[in-house]
Copies of this chain bind each other. A is one copy, B any other.
């Protein structure tokens, strides 16, 4: 196992050597999109779904990926293989590219493709991702999809960072942001869910449409748990019996406190635990999976 392997425009390198121009418009103009998938026990989870969402993000930002879907697929696998990782966090990104000094027309630039595999990441640390975190409903508004379409996964996330700082100020682990309409949207890199009277609900407005969220929906359907996507007002959290979150980097994660107050009895709830267990036993068994070696052999 290594610290990881990074692919940049055709070359593989160590993470500490992975640099980009400070002039890349992907940085200077927030003009980049990305996606994150993972492997567990050497198998990708919903790889094609992530690649397909990445394709849509590129399209949404008018970023032309010089690599085909099949090339991206192989590069992801190659990074994990070269890194020698079994459980990997795998990111793909495209930036607009570095212009000649003073050039601001994005149409003239050559996009740069980066893919990397590093050891699997738990966004709140493994313990909190498995057993529960304390979230804070932030006063920072989530960037509106009317400004930057949040279905396209992108790095314009200063709102999420400031919300996270606010959460830390209040002794919490992370933040949930509301949108311009006052309803819940998402946290920094994860979708949120509430459980009430045995039914699961998740916001469907101004959010990234999570692949793990899609898996949660599928698991709910399989387990006979009612599931709906709808607007959720922050005050519904107080009446919820359970709250949880989902992301590639942590899976299905209990939220046991919000704004410092316990949800239910302050431990992971029954519905959350059922979905979480189904998710991880699925991952172990290769559900929606494709082996790294199969991608490379294919």
Contacts and interface: CB of A to CB of B under 8 A. Distances in A.
Interface of A: 3-4, 6, 8, 15, 18-23, 25-31, 61-62, 89, 93, 96, 101-102, 104-107, 114, 116, 118-119, 121-123, 140-144, 146-148, 154-162, 164-165, 168, 180, 188-189, 249
Q: Which 9 A-B pairs have the closest CB atoms?
A: A19-B19, A102-B121, A156-B156, A141-B146, A147-B159, A30-B158, A143-B147, A101-B118, A141-B147
Copies in the complex: 2
Contacts of A143: 143-144, 147-148, 156
B165 A62 contact: yes
A196 B162 CA distance: 40
A118 to B, nearest CB: 4
Contacts of A22: 6, 8, 18-20, 93, 114, 116
Nearest to A154: B158
Contact of A155 (B30, B144, B159): B30
Given A21-B19, A101-B119, A101-B121, A147 B155 contact: no
A93 B140 CA distance: 23
Given A30-B158, A188-B104, A144 B23 contact: no
A27 B20 contact: yes
B106 A161 contact: yes
